[in-house]
Amino acid sequence: MSEDLESRIQALIGAGRHADAAALCLQQGEARRAGKLYAEVWDWPKAIEASENAGYFADAYAYALAAQDRGALQRLMQILPDHPEQARDAAATAEGKGRVVDAASLREAAGEIDLAAELYERAGELAEAARCHESAGRYREAGVLYEKRLREESGDGEAALRLGRILAGFGRWDHAARALQKAVDDRDHREAALEMLVACFDAMKMHDAAGTALERLRRLKPELPVKVDAFLRETFGDERGPAGLSQGDEASQLLAGRYRIVRTLGAGGTGRVLLAHDGFYDREVAVKILTVGSTSQGRDAYVRFEREARVAAGLDHPNVVRVHEFNADGPFLVMEFMAGGTLEERLEEGALPLAMIKNVTNAVLAGLETVHRRGVIHRDLKPANIFFGATGDVKLGDFGTAHLQDLGATLTGALIGTLAYMAPEQVTGSRRPEAATDLYAFGCILYRMLTGALPFPGPDFVTQHLELVPPAPSSLREGLDSGFDALLSRLLGKTIEDRPGSVEEVRKILDGLDWRDPDEDELAALVARERRPEPAPEKRPTSAPPPAAEERYTLLEPREDGAYLAQDELLGRTVRIEPCDPERARFLKKLAAADGPHLQAIFDIDDEGGRAVIEEPKGESMARALMDDDQRARAKTQIREALERLHAAGLVHGHLGLGAVRVGPGRATLLLPAQPSDGSPEADREAFASLFP
């Protein structure tokens, strides 16, 4: 453009004649500038027309938004996907104006699938978010969102079909079949759903159901083969269907096409327990595999194994190990993974601190009470069947010898359990097990926790259980409340009638005992005297007060910021105890409202003591952690979830960087901010994007 024309345009603008200046720009082929000039005087129709005719669709979209021109918006939303770069610019405009669905659609068109999925989910468009995850190969995330969508709208046939295919891909044939049966009700997706249903039923060896599904499908497509194996071969290229296709090199490393074996946790004469990664739910699980022959002993072992699955799967209690799945074809049992090991492992060093014993007994009794109310007797209660989670929670497991009271019990097979913890009636087979049978085993466990020794150490366990009386626990542990002696005398009674009648009775007796340990009190008092700083009256605390003699925390390591690491003796975990003035306490209480599995947990806020007890996550700072692509992707998802919880609670992090993320085995944790931030969720998301490019 010549200097003369530019001068004329500037003069028109200076005179407030923007429309005339825009018209002159159009004559000179500067349509984008013309659009901006029209926009400056709010002549949106001409601004849209000029930009759209010249191919500046992102500009036209921005002007259409300003004008709230629905027709132009609809038209441009159809055009922009063909222009990815402009779609990206338009998406930023849409997001800034709160048009989240438009922004998601445009991000998707621009190839920014992760951002699109996030925006769709934020807008409540779960099926669209799931579709984005699915297209990016994130099938677990997609499956979870399809499940949520179906809870909202059970009639969404497409979501049901897509979920069924994903579940089938993970070998979850039964769950896949349930989803596909919903999809069959949708005429638009009936044919595809029936195809997968045939395959799922066949994989579950439900051959009649597979044949029925094929018959329904042949009414729609009569040209299909009549036999299921021929149909599967024609449709999937293998007569075993998708189950056969999953037998390649990659899938051969998976159990049931879903569980990737990590390592062996233990092995015995009848099977193995493996640590595995559940690809669908992205979690660690314990897989118990039965390996027995077809002998009568093998068949008995299988019956007990199946019983364990049936009994445990029917129990839902925080002190009972959860069973996720029983696969009869393996056969194998999938349970929650208890990362803290067993009570047997902790007892190898001898007697336990009273605080830990109290925690274990409370948990074991709560679990026993639940199973007894269901009419179930464990029959093999022992330290090896009491498990600890990563955070110190205690749960009962291994119900392989459990049975329902009302089924009765024959003497054949009654001698099942571990002799060191077996009640006299189990040893002799004189009567069927009752709740008091489990309480006898509980008494043996409590005795060992208190003294470090078994009440009946063997080797002649039978004679000892039937005839001997063990030494009083107080004679083996100095300063122990004599009430333990009286309780254990009853728990280890030779007949059922000698023992307490219920878990509740045992709990009441335990609650009335003195749980203070003189040795621990002396040690804690010494630590407190040596390390407690001089008091500073009338000042807010600058360091967290160390644990008093009667408390459960043992000082491990002071920190420069006035906090210190401590051992929680009750739950067997390391925590951070930090100073907490009233202002900090108010902030922590707000943070506690955002609590989630990947946000540093707040265990306790002691307003009077001026301190807070906070999780000390396992692992390393992200700046030092070595992660492969899968681990980084998992950490990205987990930290995003933690940020979303903060934002949903009306908070921002404001200090998101490498040092704010702790990466441990299977879990990334977002550390809490040290102080409130005047930042914004958008700034958090920008920091997140730079952290996980």
Residues designated as active site: 380
Distance, in Å, from the CA atom of 88 to the CA atom of 84, rounded to the nearest integer, reads 6
Distance, in Å, from the CA atom of 667 to the CA atom of 339, rounded to the nearest integer, reads 13
3 state DSSP class of 79:
helix
Instruction: Tell me, letter by letter, the H, E, C secondary structure of 381-411.
Output: CCHHHEEECCCCCEEECCCCCCEEHHHCCCC
Distance, in Å, from the CA atom of 394 to the CA atom of 449, rounded to the nearest integer, reads 15
Nearest to 386 by CA among 304, 461, 446, 474: 446
CB neighbour class for 611 (10 Å; exposed up to 12, middle 13-18, buried from 19):
buried
CA R_g for the chain: 33
Strand-pair category, 376-377 with 403-404? antiparallel
Strand-pair category, 259-268 with 254-255? antiparallel
Nearest to 180 by CA among 205, 146, 207, 148: 146
What is the spatial order of strands in the sheet that 553-558 belongs to?
Answer: 553-558, 564-568, 573-579, 611-615, 602-606
Distance, in Å, from the CA atom of 453 to the CA atom of 458, rounded to the nearest integer, reads 11
> Distance between terminal CA atoms of the chain?
42
Instruction: Tell me, letter by letter, the H, E, C secondary structure of 318-353.
Output: CCECCEEEEECCCCEEEEECCCCCEHHHHHCCCCCC
Distance, in Å, from the CA atom of 508 to the CA atom of 649, rounded to the nearest integer, reads 40
Tokens 């009765």 belong to residue: 408
